[in-house]
Amino acid sequence: MPRPPLARRLGAALLVPLLALAALPSLADEAPLPEDWSEIRAEARGQTVYWNAWGGDATTNRYIGWVAERMAQRHGVEVIHVKLDDTAAAVSRVIAEKSAGNVDEGAIDLVWINGENFAAMKRHGLLFGPFAWRLPNFSLTAPEDNPEVLTDFTLPTEGYESPWGKAQLTFYYDAARVDTPPGDIRALLDWARAHPGRFTYPLVPDFLGSTFLKQALIELVEDPAVLAEPADAHDVAAITAPLWDYLDALHPHLWRQGRHFPASGPELKQLMGDGELDLAFTFNPAEPAAAVADHRLPPSTRSYVLDDGTLGNVHFVAIPFNARHKAGAMVLANFLLSPEAQARKQDIAVWGDPTVLDMDRLSAEQRAAFSTDDGHPARLPPRALERLRPEPHPSWMEALEEAWRARYARG
């Protein structure tokens, strides 16, 4: 998201400044960068790129540190990782700068976002671009054959985001304790009743916790097609009622009887590693295998996808409209799409985040670096990830988080 995990919610505290922006003239007509990529690289040399990205996972942070080393060595660009607890903080910063008339001296050069935050930034003219199509390595994603790199939570990116990695909701369990894990959301309730205290989900609005709500809603709603449309076009209370009935039944059988929730995906994984849970989930399909390799989960850990598929998406990086170092940000975004950087990111010994590159666009030597045929028992085979559910419109995530807090948040 990774992420995230990866993307984080846009907080309600931002609604007032967002409304204020509607009265301002558009400030998104940036001074153009050179057309020639070699000139952009030359302009980037010597720049310092402030990359705002989630900092809640040590593995991800180490990978970003490696990227910074390579960028300094290869391109003469200093990369500073501004670690975020919530991406909404970066969005809030850009909103404040635009409200103050800061059109070219922004504090953020690159931001790791998707979903709600992308929708809000794009709608209010807070993004620079389109830039993704100008990155030489973008063609390696074969966008004409892989439309998922061109949409974010059903919204066209239109070149205002560059894809960076893939994610899909993946369940994992301790095979030493669980013979047959539940294959769908309804079966999960039956399993939780039979194994009280051995499952839970992260506290909403943590991204992984909110993703669990969306997965459950997709399986429980009468017509999942309505979730591709804006929530305000439908009777939200009626459509989501089966979800709240489900959670009301599930919560008493969760870890700590649903009175407390882990704060994040890493905390959920720690509960699995400590033996307090038998079943959990992640938004990174390779994370269970990576955690086993790092001795944070037991060797008996196994992964799987629900019978009818699970939510999946692509996560992206974007450049704010007023970024001070746009050339450096573009060179960084391009490096993130390089076969070298993508292969290292996918390595479970490094991070395990799946690649967005199309293997048919790579040489045989480059493809070899992406081989995952290691027989690791906690790693899903690639074909298992073909059972993919599309993300709902971002407005549904906002509606679910608000309703969840109203029903279950404890003051």
pLDDT, position 156: 93
Q: Rounded to whole angstroms, what are the CA distances from 97 to 17, 131, 239, 273?
A: 11, 21, 38, 43
pLDDT, position 2: 41
Is 180 in contact with 18 (CB distance < 8 Å)? no
Is pTM beyond 0.85? Reply is no
Q: Tokens at residue 90, please?
A: 């970066």
Percent of all residues in the chain with a pLDDT value above 70, rounded to a whole number: 91
Contacts 24+ apart (CB under 8 A), 187-192: 188/250, 189/246, 189/249, 189/250, 189/253, 191/279, 192/250, 192/253, 192/254
What are the structural domain ranges in the chain? 12-408
pLDDT, position 374: 61
pLDDT, position 19: 40
pLDDT, position 85: 86
Please provide residue 230's backbone torsions phi and psi, each rounded to the nearest 5 degrees. Answer: -55, 140
Rounded CA-CA distance 59/106 in Å is: 28
pLDDT, position 248: 98
The residue assigned the tokens 């989930």 is 281
3-state percent helix, strand, coil for the chain, nearest multiple of 5: 45, 15, 40
Q: Mapping DSSP to helix (H, G, I), strand (E, B) and coil, where does residue 323 land? A: strand
Enter the CATH code of domain 12-408.
3.40.190.10
User: Bridge partners of 227?
Assistant: none
For the chain, which ranges sit under pLDDT 70? Answer: 1-31, 372-375, 382, 411
DSSP 15-56: HHHHHHHTTSPP---PPPPPSSHHHHHHHHTT-EEEEEEE--
pLDDT, position 34: 87
pLDDT, position 110: 98
